[in-house]
């Protein structure tokens, strides 16, 4: 009987270790689509294509809006994409390119979040 109790305690202990380990894993964001869009935005800005720039900026803003609640980075990056879009609409391509480059810097500085699994 005591062997069964010892085995049960050991089994519960090992299973609780796996739950604690899973709760402490880092949360990684996949922002590859936004990185690709920002590269394309810079190319379009250098070419002077305002229509294509605005279209791609709208796509980047839509992606950021859809995933806004799941990220710390996306609200800051979407503000830069919004500034770039309005600058290009006003015909200021250099300011638009600079805003997209600032958004790229924000996207590169990904923070790994730790979830502690509770309060």
Structural domain boundaries in the chain: 29-111
Q: Position of tokens 């009987």?
A: 1
Q: What's the rounded Cα separation, in Å, for the pair 87 and 105?
A: 19
Q: What is the token pair recorded at 87?
A: 């600058």
Q: Which CATH architecture has domain 29-111?
A: Up-down Bundle (1.20)
* Contact status, residue 96 vs residue 53, Cβ threshold 8 Å: yes
User: Can you name the residues that pair with 113 across neighbouring β-strands?
Assistant: 27
What tens-digit pLDDT sequence spans the chain (119 residues)?
A: 577 878 777 667 766 665 554 454 555 667 888 899 999 999 999 999 999 999 999 999 998 888 777 677 888 899 999 999 999 999 999 999 999 999 999 988 865 555 555 55
User: Can you name the residues that pair with 5 across neighbouring β-strands?
Assistant: none
- Residue 108 has a pLDDT of 86
- For residue 44, give Cα distances in angstroms to 5, 29, 80, 92, 118: 69, 26, 16, 13, 45
Q: What is the token pair recorded at 61?
A: 């803003």
């Amino acid at each position: 009987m005591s062997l069964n109790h010892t085995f049960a305690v050991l089994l519960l202990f090992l299973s609780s270790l796996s739950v604690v380990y899973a709760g402490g894993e880092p949360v990684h964001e996949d922002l590859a689509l936004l990185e690709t869009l920002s590269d394309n935005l810079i190319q379009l800005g250098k070419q002077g294509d305002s229509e294509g720039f605005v279209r791609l900026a709208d796509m980047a803003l839509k992606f950021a809006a859809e995933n806004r609640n799941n990220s710390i980075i996306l609200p800051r990056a979407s503000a830069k994409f919004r500034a770039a879009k309005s600058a290009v609409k006003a015909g200021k391509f250099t300011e638009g390119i600079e805003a997209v480059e600032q958004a790229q810097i924000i996207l590169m500085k990904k923070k790994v979040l730790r979830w502690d699994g509770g309060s």
